[in-house]
Amino acid sequence: MKKILSLAATLSFVLSISTPTEAISYNGQGWLAYSHHDYQGAIQAFTLDRAADPYGAAWGLANVYENSHLRAFAAARSNLLLLLKSPLYRARALHSLAQLPPDSADPSFQPNALLTYSDAVALALSFRSLPANETPQGSNAFYLAMAKARGLYSGTANPNAAAPRLFLAQFLSKLYGIDVYSYLRPFSLSDIQTLPAQQQMLIQSMLGTGLMTANGGQFHPFGFETRAAFAVSIAKANALFAHPSPDLHYVTPPLPPVTTPYLYMFSAGPETNAQKSADVALHSQVNAYGIVGYPFISLFPKGAAVTRQAIDQTHDLLTPFSAGSGLANLAQTIGSRGFMVIGNYNSVTNQSDTAFATQLLSDKHRELAVASEAVQIATREHLSGITLDFENIASTDTSAYSQFVALFAQKAHAVHLKLMVCVPEKASALQDGYNWQAIAKSADMVMLITYDEHNPNTKPGAVEDATYDDWVIKYALTQMPANKILLGMADYGYDWSANGATEISMPQGNALAHTYGYHIDARSQNRVISYSSQGVQHTVWYPSDATVTTIASYVRDYGLKGLAIWHVGAEDAGFYQAITRGATGAGTAAGFRG
């Protein structure tokens, strides 16, 4: 916003035209106070000057009221209009009136009136620098045109109608470049649950930054605000984004909704490494592969290998499936998209080993050795990063594990490697071994393990439940920024029988469905098959394309980083198309919002 007149020029002008001794004294006091940012003192002095020099006093008051600290444009306008009667001041007053924002941009003007669309636009944009040779001419129309040109206001609503709070939240988000996907959110407001996910997150971002408020657990998205309340929001926004708090996560400019999610896929699975290599070669759209079964036998002599040998007589830091032949070829095919996956899987018991994790986390020297060696190997092998998949961490090791993650992050980031950390799903603050907030502060990506909900150790059921995923995401968003989250996705299922359960791929499930028929489970959208073979009854559950599409839609709706898929080689021909449909909104299944 342009100044009415520079202080030096104004002082020179005033002294050249003021003659009475008393007028010079009050004028001088007023301009001196103004120069020292004592605006109330300046107003008092110029007011006392009215009797002796009404036009000189009006000129001084117009400058004080228009000042960016007071922004009392209505009061400034009344003084400038008075000056139109003075031949000496008329030209200056006309010039100043052309540059003066409208009264609607004055926070003190009609403070208790309901805020209109045009008021909101003028009040906010009056703080912004104007293009050369453009002046507001005291009109809301100038700012409305400016807002339309910048995509801040569509113009479809009546500009003189009261603006609902949802519009104000959207307007502030666009104007200040707030990334609505990177703020933590409580999801506790009762009156926004029926809104689309992006709008819920936008409202929560406004609350998280303190730009808007909620009362009694309600936001009132279609209610209205007073001019005074919105002026407070603008003042907070200007202060926040001029001096951002280190505790607030934000990105400027705002990120668009995720339509091409980051895809991470684990290399584990019963398929041969040759089959996996062929699958990797076909899918360039996968951004990263977690190399599970990395040959750690000789690569960790100082740190983990000694520990593991004492527990399960293996040297492997993590081998859910043995390295086997062809791993080197698989790693070569993956190339720089590779992430080294390490964790606490016990290859004898086929379970994540709580005791091993406790033993590792109790020795700082061993922790440092493991982190240092892993980073050295990942660098030598030209990998993109490291994935920590330590599961079943004891609740007594929560703090130690968070520190271990921080140590790994420090080592990895020093050589430009990414760090991803896997955490088990939860929809509330359970007392387990994982402090999601602390882990997210260190990690570049946090994977939510939202699959294997039913497995060989449970009764038949959905491997991944889209409804429960939604609850997990909402809790995760209270603990970490959305744009760090990878949502787990299963591309496999299980065939249960009296003889146990066997993992099946999506193509294997499709073949069984073709032979025996199937039905869709309404909640999870999984395909369910019942059949009998050699007198043994079987029950099969595996994800359908609709499951995949719905889960991918959460990435778009909540602005998540992307998907972490278990595992390579188990997907069917329509798998990636189903992800695309969900990510773009082209075919999202409905009815999964918890």
Average pLDDT on 408-436 reads 93
Output 217 or 160, whichever has higher pLDDT. 160
Q: What are the structure tokens assigned to 468, written together?
A: 């429960």
Write down the pLDDT at residue 295.
47
Q: Domain range spanning residue 341?
A: 263-584
Percent of the chain with pLDDT over 90: 50
Question: Would residue 354 count as lying in a domain?
Answer: yes
Last residue of a domain, one of 212, 242, 272: 242
Q: What are the structure tokens assigned to 249, written together?
A: 């996560």
Last residue of a domain, one of 180, 209, 242: 242
Query: 123-137, 310-324, 393-407, 421-435 — which one is most confidently predicted on average?
Result: 393-407
Reported as a pLDDT band with limits 50, 70 and 90, residue 133 is low
Question: Would residue 549 count as lying in a domain?
Answer: yes
Output 219 or 15, whichever has higher pLDDT. 219
Whether 229 and 359 map to the same domain: the answer is no
Q: Count of H helices and E strands in the chain?
A: 22, 15
Question: Would residue 401 count as lying in a domain?
Answer: yes
Output 99 or 547, whichever has higher pLDDT. 547
Whether 476 and 423 map to the same domain: the answer is yes
Considering its fold, how many domains does the chain have in total?
2
Q: What are the structure tokens assigned to 267, written together?
A: 């290399």
Write down the pLDDT at residue 545.
94
Whether 299 and 406 map to the same domain: the answer is yes
Average pLDDT on 130-138 reads 63
Whether 201 and 302 map to the same domain: the answer is no
Question: Would residue 461 count as lying in a domain?
Answer: yes
Whether 498 and 460 map to the same domain: the answer is yes
Alpha carbon distance 377, 272 (integer Å): 24
pLDDT averaged over every residue in the chain: 84
Question: Would residue 448 count as lying in a domain?
Answer: yes
Question: Would residue 46 count as lying in a domain?
Answer: no
Alpha carbon distance 385, 399 (integer Å): 23
Q: For residue 426, give the CATH number of its domain.
A: 3.20.20.80
SS (H, E, C) 30-50: HHHHHHCCCHHHHHHHHHHCC
Question: Would residue 500 count as lying in a domain?
Answer: yes
Write down the pLDDT at residue 60.
93
* Window from 247-251, 340-344, 503-507, 574-578 with minimum mean pLDDT: 247-251
Instruction: Name every residue whose Cβ is closer than 8 Å to that of residue 579 and which is 6 or more positions away in sequence.
Output: 261, 263, 548, 549, 552, 563
Write down the pLDDT at residue 334.
86
Average pLDDT on 48-73 reads 89
Whether 284 and 204 map to the same domain: the answer is no
Shortest CA distance to 405 belongs to which of 450, 448, 346, 360? 360
Alpha carbon distance 555, 470 (integer Å): 10
Judged against a pLDDT cut of 90, whether residue 404 lies above it is answered with yes
Write down the pLDDT at residue 242.
75
Judged against a pLDDT cut of 80, whether residue 1 lies above it is answered with no
Cα–Cα distances (Å) from 250 to 166, 177, 187, 240, 245, in that order, read 20, 9, 18, 11, 10
Looking at residue 340, what DSSP letter applies? Answer: E
Question: Would residue 199 count as lying in a domain?
Answer: yes
Whether 226 and 368 map to the same domain: the answer is no
Reported as a pLDDT band with limits 50, 70 and 90, residue 346 is confident
Output 328 or 358, whichever has higher pLDDT. 358
Write down the pLDDT at residue 318.
39
Model confidence pLDDT, tens digit, residues 141-190: 888 888 888 888 888 899 999 999 999 999 998 888 887 887 888 888 88
Judged against a pLDDT cut of 50, whether residue 252 lies above it is answered with no
Write down the pLDDT at residue 264.
97
Model confidence pLDDT, tens digit, residues 574-590: 999 999 999 887 654 33
Judged against a pLDDT cut of 70, whether residue 5 lies above it is answered with no
Whether 488 and 537 map to the same domain: the answer is yes
Write down the pLDDT at residue 590.
35
Write down the pLDDT at residue 498.
93
Percent of the chain with pLDDT over 70: 84
Under a CB-based contact definition with an 8 Å cutoff, are residues 529 and 494 in contact?
A: no
Write down the pLDDT at residue 20.
47
Whether 209 and 295 map to the same domain: the answer is no
Reported as a pLDDT band with limits 50, 70 and 90, residue 24 is low
Alpha carbon distance 390, 392 (integer Å): 7
Whether 362 and 491 map to the same domain: the answer is yes
At 561, the amino acid letter reads: K
Alpha carbon distance 376, 340 (integer Å): 11
At 473, the amino acid letter reads: I
Classify 293 as helix, strand or coil: coil
Whether 161 and 224 map to the same domain: the answer is yes
Write down the pLDDT at residue 588.
44
Average pLDDT on 287-303 reads 61
Reported as a pLDDT band with limits 50, 70 and 90, residue 454 is very high
Cα–Cα distances (Å) from 227 to 224, 239, 242, in that order, read 10, 19, 23
* Window from 11-15, 408-412, 579-583 with minimum mean pLDDT: 11-15
Axis-axis angle for helices 354-361, 304-312 (nearest 10): 140
Q: Scanning the structure block, which residue is given the tokens 């001088």?
A: 28
Alpha carbon distance 490, 527 (integer Å): 13
Whether 295 and 231 map to the same domain: the answer is no
Is the CA virtual torsion 160, 162, 165, 167 positive or negative? Answer: negative
Reported as a pLDDT band with limits 50, 70 and 90, residue 136 is low
Model confidence pLDDT, tens digit, residues 478-495: 999 998 999 999 999 999
Average pLDDT on 384-409 reads 96
